[in-house]
Amino acid sequence: MELLTGRIRDYAWGSRTVIAQLQGRPAPAPGPEAELWLGAHPGAPSQVRRGGALVGLPELIDQDPVGWLGETTATRFDGRLPYLMKVLAAETPLSLQAHPDAAQARAGYAAQSKQPSTSAVRNYVDPHHKPELLVALSEFDALCGFRAPQLSAEVLAALGVDELEPVTKALRVGPGGLPEALERLLRWPVPQRPALVAAAVAGADRLPTRYAADAALLRRLAGHYPVDPGVLVALLLNQVTLAPGEAIWMPAGNLHAYLRGAGVEIMAASDNVLRGGLTPKHVDVAELLRVLRFEVLDDPVVRARPVASGVVTWPVPVAEFALHRVVLDAGVRQASVPVDGPRVVLCVAGEVTVDDGVAAVPIPSGQAAVGPAGGTPLVVSGTGTAFVASVDPSID
């Protein structure tokens, strides 16, 4: 194992305190710190110190892909680290978004490969899918997947905005009406959007108390995006408040948005995003509608499954990654984590030491370590909490 230096992304929605406090730096930070990236993604690759200099993790993997990734992972994922781990710290809402499946990503990337990679209207910047798992570090608010459309119809109708009647009519059809309802909102005429949002916010005062959470969400989002119909799209989705340790799983085609809080996120190493609103960035309605899965997600929360004393995981059906959490205290001072392939370890509280059978490395809070594929379990000791990212070879 070796210490790994991550990269902080300064997106405008980020917190100025969460990552700084996690790393023991003065807070508030000078500017927003939205995400700490830990991995080999070309957008912000992590670094390893070698001979007094920092060397990019992608370079090290390229020099010896089988040694770093293991033969199976190197072959299956074309010599690249297939996952990216992040600390995400949201102070204000992120965009409504979804991600393509593997086939859609390959086709979309091929179709747009002649466009500049930095183009603001390009949807596909790589040929990979991007399923995601987020585990809350703090109370975490999110929108995740479509809720029962009949309930959404009731809420929209109770707003008393006549212009929304075609949307509520489509929703009353059930899941089969979701595509029409969503498209009507996303394609709302631009000159009429401010009046629509203002009327909806005024109507929130008329909502029955059983819809108090919807009223609060509408007002909150309209405060950030007063001319964006995405504030009404949000009312079609499940509102989720995660407790620390709970997770949400976002497979391909799942419309979602993070609203507030801190969490550890792991995903397939891709940056393909189709946005649907709550953002000044490019929104491609046609492509978003094409990749979405219009199905009701009854329970988007993923509960932890115990693996060993002090160790839990959140099973998800992808081969690119697996995530374990290790909690060490007076009762459990050492734990063995059954990981496969290359591993990244992030400490989020206290200090832990990780030993892969070759080298043991102490990791303080907010720091990380990386190690190549090995045949022995990873041993974590000390007092604190750590997340361990690896691959899952059991998934076909």
Please say whether the beta carbons of 238 and 124 come within 8 A: no
Q: What is the pLDDT along the chain (396 residues), one digit of tens a residue?
A: 999 999 999 999 999 999 999 999 999 999 999 999 999 999 999 999 988 899 999 999 999 999 999 999 999 999 999 999 999 999 999 999 999 999 999 999 999 988 887 788 899 999 999 999 999 999 999 999 999 999 999 999 999 999 999 999 999 999 999 999 999 999 999 999 999 999 999 999 999 999 999 999 999 999 999 999 999 999 999 999 999 999 999 999 999 999 999 999 999 999 999 999 999 999 999 999 999 999 999 888 999 999 999 999 999 999 999 999 999 998 899 999 989 899 999 999 999 999 999 999 999 999 999 999 987 889 999 999 999 999 998 887
Position 194 scores a pLDDT of 98
| Pick from 142, 366, 365: nearest CA to 246 | 142
Position 327 scores a pLDDT of 97
Position 100 scores a pLDDT of 97
Please say whether the beta carbons of 257 and 142 come within 8 A: yes
- How many whole angstroms separate alpha carbon 275 and alpha carbon 8? 22
Enumerate residues 6+ apart whose C-beta is below 8 A from 162.
none
H/E stretch holding 196: helix 193-204
pLDDT tens readout for residues 267-303: 999 999 999 999 999 999 999 999 999 999 988 899 9
- How many whole angstroms separate alpha carbon 170 and alpha carbon 179? 9
Domains contained in the chain, CATH given: 2-142+242-279+298-302 (2.60.120.10), 144-236 (no CATH), 310-391 (2.60.120.10)
Residue type, 250: M
Q: Helix 149-158 vs helix 178-186: angle between axes, to the nearest 10 degrees?
A: 40
Q: Which residue has the tokens 């108390």?
A: 209
Q: Helix 212-224 vs helix 193-204: angle between axes, to the nearest 10 degrees?
A: 140
Position 389 scores a pLDDT of 98
Please say whether the beta carbons of 389 and 264 come within 8 A: no
Phi and psi at residue 84, to the nearest 5°: -135, 125
For the annotated catalytic residues, the residue numbers are 275
H/E stretch holding 213: helix 212-224
- How many whole angstroms separate alpha carbon 119 and alpha carbon 112? 10
- How many whole angstroms separate alpha carbon 389 and alpha carbon 128? 19
Please say whether the beta carbons of 315 and 305 come within 8 A: yes
DSSP 394: T
- How many whole angstroms separate alpha carbon 42 and alpha carbon 128? 13
Residue type, 53: A
